[in-house]
Structure 1
Amino acid sequence: MAALVALRRDLHAHPELGFAEHRTAGIVAAFLSARGIDVYRGIGKTGVVGVLRRGRGTGVIGLRADMDALPMEDAGGQPWKSQHPGRCHACGHDGHTVMLLGAADRLAREADFDGTVIFIFQPAEEGLAGAKAMIDDGLFSRFPCDAVYAVHNWPELPLGAAQTRPGAIMAAADRFDIRVTGGGGHAAQPHLSPDTLLATSELVVQLNTLVARAVDPCEPALLTVTRIQGGFSHNMIPAEARITGTVRTFNPQVQDIIERRLREMATHVTAAQGLKAEVTYQRYYPATLNTAPEAQVALRAAERTGLRASVADKPALTSEDFSFMLQAVPGAYLWLGSAESRPLHHPAYDFNDALIPLGIRWFCEVVRDRLALKT
């Protein structure tokens, strides 16, 4: 286990952004190959797949880990702090990678299953849809799976706890960008020019009422404005301003309502000020939806691992591109408690190494559950 902890910390010190995980992919490929696992590289640009076959069983189970880091500074104080400015493993993908490598090592040595395991090391989870890139590059046509499973460390749960649920576990994630144009002039002559900042400010306020007034209160949904840009001088009304934000939903019909109303709102609010709004709306990750039988497998495996397994009361409004894999293949996504630790995406976050043996055992128990040896 000490070697795996050292590897995790090495990956933390050398984070790589989405579709640039060349060093990480090389380490993964070499690790798998050294254990007699068939290795396939370059799937979805920098993705790596390992294939391990045992016995005569026809069952095939996929296990997935993400490899990429975030574009942010590492504010941690540990010796294995990121050595690369502007890159940080602040979501624990270094730990996910090592847990799956540890499971591959154990399954290759112990061989206590009958069938095939597909180890999926995915690039670019953080907003770049690396899972979709792997699927588009033939992941499941080249390596068909009966089911696929993934785990994510979860600081909101205590160490030793695990949760998942049938159905929605993570939200769909959309991004909107609104460009307001048609103004520009001297700040001392507001009567001669439409005020882009006034219209943009009004639009921000109205957007924050959209979910409450357009969506059924029983439907979970969220809209958050995350960026407002406009202006260069204290005495100038800018010619344009921009708004950026995110929408999170679980129901595609609610997603449709919010997009339509957002476009209408942007058009009408700005038009009332004599301006125009250009809206770009991107649905970049669908909701992560577990299939019920596979969610039960994930919870059973957690119990056999010795974890305090339970059904989550509600899904999270964070998003995950494992959702694309679950659209293609049945499967489940598990939260593995990691507290006490910093929140995910915090600049001083560091993966809790105590999770490594728990994650390894969970992956292995999933395989044993689905590919049990015939007696």
Structure 2
Amino acid sequence: MAAHRKSTPSLLGGQAVRTAATLALASAATTTLFEGAGHADPRPTTARVKARVDRLYEEAGAATERYNGAKEKADEARAAFDRLRDEAARRTRRLNDARDALGSAAAAQYRSGGLDPTVRLVLTSDPDQYLARAAFAEKAGDRQATAIRTVRRELGAIGQLRGESAERLTALRGHEAELRRQKTTVLGKLRAARTLLARLTAEERARYEAATAARNAPAPSARPDATNASGASASTRADRSSGGARASVDVPGSRAAQAISFARAQLGKPYVWGATGPSGYDCSGLTQAAWRAAGVSLPRTTYTQINAGQRVSRSRLAPGDLVFFYSGISHVGLYIGGGQMIHAPRPGAPIRIAPIDEMPFAGATRVG
């Protein structure tokens, strides 16, 4: 006979079970609350905000240079498209003139009755007059043949121009789409930087501004008005003593001196991304404008300007050299000697003199 196992009675009654479950849930909620509070992101410190803002400005600068490159290509494509369109219009006018000439010749032939020349010679009452007219008609026929060749040539040229114009238009639309993408990226980075800065208290914002100003403050020897009795700037004297400056820079009217003079005249003007002056500049817009004032044409972007001249090492820098920063070659300044440069830093920071040590050095190029 099978043995029957008695069921074990519950140690807790229904009310006890509900009470225990309630306590367990409350305990779990309390634990979760404290764990969540323990893992919540703390309010960012001024140093963390500054590091993140600096990174966003660097990324915005890189996107600005990509925008500048896309804009340069779009401008070139638009100019090429306009040239093709103008040429097609000129060819069309020539085609219409040739067609009009052919139409006039055909109408004249129709009015003459289109008789065979021999028949007209037999029927004429004045053979001499007819022969004179025949010679003229032969010349007219030559002109007609030329007009036909012109029509054929212009039709072929117009067809080719239309094909090239379609290709240029496609390229232009692609560059314009890239422009829009890079503009969106730049504005997004700048908006994120402003949002981070807005989270700072007034006291924290003051400390941030003070730290930024201290970092970007030029050395006393690099002030634009720091000159000796002979008119030579302190930065130039420092370069002379270290053997770092080229003699040609000290010659009034030299190209490097002209570029530096132009850049000094822009001090205090705002950084404006994508701008090439005269009221504001971005970093490569400033260096391009400075060397243009000296009669030297530079490409538009940092990553093309670095290849626009002879590469020089940091130890051989001379006033007028272009100095580049960050691994992506996304920032450029104009070296003025004494370890200083003139550059357009970023939005909210005007064109200023600053040490080249404030950013990761990436290379230098000598132009002019």
TM class, shorter-chain normalised? under 0.3
Greater relative contact order structure (CA < 8 Å, 6+ sep)? 1
TM-score, normalised by the number of residues in structure 1: 0.19
Structure with greater proportional helix content: 2
- Give the TM-score normalised by structure 2: 0.20
